Structure 1
């Protein structure tokens, strides 16, 4: 009986982990966002970061969206998507200091903070 319960718990745990990853992949992973067309970019005051903005067209049934990509200038790190907002076609980027950027009115402390309209 113990083996059956233990086996059931292991199978349940494996299925739970797979389902949790699937939900993350489908709804939270910002690396799956569409590339889009280049809009503009701004370099941080210390030159450590560049924020590039792209506009994406979802097709006839959805509105335009803006994606913000953080580039690490000093290091050979992979770029990060830190901004994703729906119903926008332009991007206004202002660096308020070396690590704080305002994108279309949304203030982010880079590189740790992100904005994704799907998750308020």
Structure 2
């Protein structure tokens, strides 16, 4: 009876490592799917459309139109530029089936792009998530 109990105790660390590896694998696969399909930093650059600067001059939003080729429609990408700091520009707007962009600053930290209001720099609009 003691031999059977020892063997069971010895298998517990193996089970733990197998479960840990499975969880790690699932996390890596999940991040890979996010990176390939939803990471806004991987969007196509597109062709320049227009830009508007906030009243205090702290931010500029530049918009670009991107063609997905023969099988998809146009999309508009909006990029936030930090004028008074060395921060990297960041994509804050991505909407499918648009070819033009209307940018309006409602105050120093709120921009409206094609009817979507964003509180910069924290908000983003991505049609794939709405």
TM-score with structure 2 setting the length = 0.90
Counterpart of 2:106? 96
Counterpart of 2:121? 111
Per-residue deviation, residues 28-81 of structure 1 (Å, max 9, x unmatched): 210000000000000001100000000001111110100000000011011000
SS in 2 for 1:45: coil
Greater percentage in helix: 2
Counterpart of 2:19? 9
Deviation >3 Å, runs of 4+: none
Distance (Å, rounded) in 2 between the aligned partners of 1:19 and 1:46: 43
Instruction: Give the 5 Å matches for 1:29-40.
Output: 29-40=39-50
SS in 1 for 2:129: coil
Counterpart of 1:84? 94
Corresponding residue pairs, total:
120
Larger Rg: 2
Backbone CA RMSD of aligned residues: 0.7
SS in 1 for 2:66: strand
Gaps of 5+ in 1: none
